[in-house]
Every structure is written in C-alpha cells, then in structure tokens.
C-alpha cells in the first residue's frame, strides 16, 4: 500500500526541480567556473582573418584568409580551398608528393616516385603519399593561410599553380624538409623574392638536410 505524500514532500521535490533547473541555466549561460579557467571567464573564439585579395606585380595575386575545402581528392601537393565564398583548386609549385593510392593508371608514376627516394616499393611509396596528405591537410585545417598565384593552369585541368604560405613558412619547402615530396614539377620566380633557379637551389639544400636526417621517405632506404 503506497503512502500518500505530505505537503513537505511536495515542497522538497519542487525545490529540487528548481535547483536542477537553475544549475542547468547557469551552465548554459557560462556562469559556472570551467576547469582551468577562472569564474566568469569564457573561452575566446579564435580570430578569423578576412578573405582579401591583394594584387601584386607581374600578374600575381595574394589571397589572404584562405581555408581548406574538404574533398576526397585532396592530397599532399594538390587540394581545394575556399576564399571569399569561391572554391579553387591549388597545385603547389616545385614539389611533387607521392600518390596517396594505387589505381590502374598511376603505376608508372608511383614507380618513378619510388626510384627518386632510393628505390621504394610501391607500398612504401603510397605510404609516404598518405603521410604527405595528412601532413598538408593537418596544417591547412589548423587555420587560415595565404595563396600566391598568377592563375597558371596545370595542363588542361581546373588546378592552378601556386605558392602556399603557412604563416611565414612555404608549404612546399616544409614538405621537402619532412622528406614527403620530391623536387619535380614546374617552378616559378617567387613574387618579390627568389628567382626560380635560386628557389630550386634553396629546396635542394633543404632536401640534402632531409636526406642526412633520414626524414620521411629518406629514412626507408639507406642512402
């Protein structure tokens, strides 16, 4: 036989419900202290760089505030970006990352890439391609970046050659230093910087350091 609740029981239940509701409201409003932060503080939102385009000499433009556009075709040296609401496909100057997957048409290219790094197997070459993809996309996902391009088309594709800057670092050079890219594709004078030949020599010096340190692909075979 159940006991009928007294007025005191109902008051206690009502008070508990009110307290639970107030606690939920306080947490939602951010009035409660968060772990690692003093009471009343809030986690600041990361600043977003405005998407602007700056015209440079020689037909170059600098696109600031670019962000990565997620796409299954993105890899270490070629990827889609967003800038000012427009989607573009970028291909890095000077560097070529190994293929990230084997398909029926890229076997010869994979073999060529493997030979460049000292005779890698096809499986090892694809593994480096996957690492290059993850390295590049990890950097691009971390925040906005700059793209310098003169809209030079890659053959007859929708891709355009460009230099990509992560802060003050050139993405192509970072890939070479990590042993994740070979110096093998079209180069160009840097806008306001080194001529193409000097840029290639700069990358070759970075590659020698990567070989010596056995970075990335260079660590899979004794040179």
Tens-place pLDDT, residues 141-190: 999 999 999 999 998 789 999 999 999 999 999 999 999 999 999 999 99
CATH code of the domain made up of 56-98+129-219: 2.40.50.90
Residue 111 backbone phi and psi in degrees, to 5? -65, -40
Spell out the alpha helix ranges (H) of 73-195.
107-116, 122-141, 171-177
Please state the separation of Cα 100 from the chain's center in Å: 16
Neighbours of 5 (CB within 10 A): 10
Cα–Cα distance between 53 and 21 in angstroms, integer? Answer: 49
Cα-atom radius of gyration of the chain, to the nearest Å?
Answer: 27
Neighbours of 216 (CB within 10 A): 22
First vs last C-alpha separation in the chain: 87
Mean pLDDT of the chain: 85
| Beta strands 78-83 and 95-96, pairing class | unpaired
24 or 136: whose pLDDT is higher? 136
pLDDT greater than 80 at residue 98: yes
Tens of pLDDT, residues 22-59: 554 444 333 444 333 333 333 333 445 789 999 999 99
DSSP 136-160: HHHHHHTS-EEEEE---BSTTSSEE
């Amino acid at each position: 036989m159940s006991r009928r609740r007294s007025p005191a029981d109902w008051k206690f239940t009502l008070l508990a419900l009110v307290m639970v509701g107030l606690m939920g409201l306080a947490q939602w409003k951010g009035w409660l202290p968060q772990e690692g932060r003093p009471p009343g503080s809030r986690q600041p939102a990361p600043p977003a760089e405005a998407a602007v385009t700056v015209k440079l000499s020689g037909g170059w433009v600098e696109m600031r505030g670019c962000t990565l556009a997620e796409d299954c075709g993105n890899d270490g040296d070629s990827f889609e970006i967003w800038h000012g609401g427009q989607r573009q496909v970028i291909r890095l100057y000077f560097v070529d990352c190994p293929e990230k997957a084997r398909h029926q048409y890229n076997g010869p290219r994979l073999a060529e890439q493997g030979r460049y790094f000292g005779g890698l197997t096809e499986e090892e070459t694809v593994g480096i391609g996957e690492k290059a993809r993850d390295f590049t996309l990890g950097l691009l996902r971390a925040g906005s970046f700059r793209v310098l391009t003169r809209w030079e088309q890659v053959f007859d594709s929708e891709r355009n050659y460009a230099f990509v800057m992560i802060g003050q670092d050139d993405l192509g050079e970072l890939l070479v230093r990590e042993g994740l890219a070979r110096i093998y594709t079209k180069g160009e004078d840097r806008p306001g910087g080194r001529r193409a030949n000097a840029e290639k020599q700069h990358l070759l010096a970075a590659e020698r350091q990567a070989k010596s340190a056995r970075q990335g692909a260079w660590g899979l075979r004794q040179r």
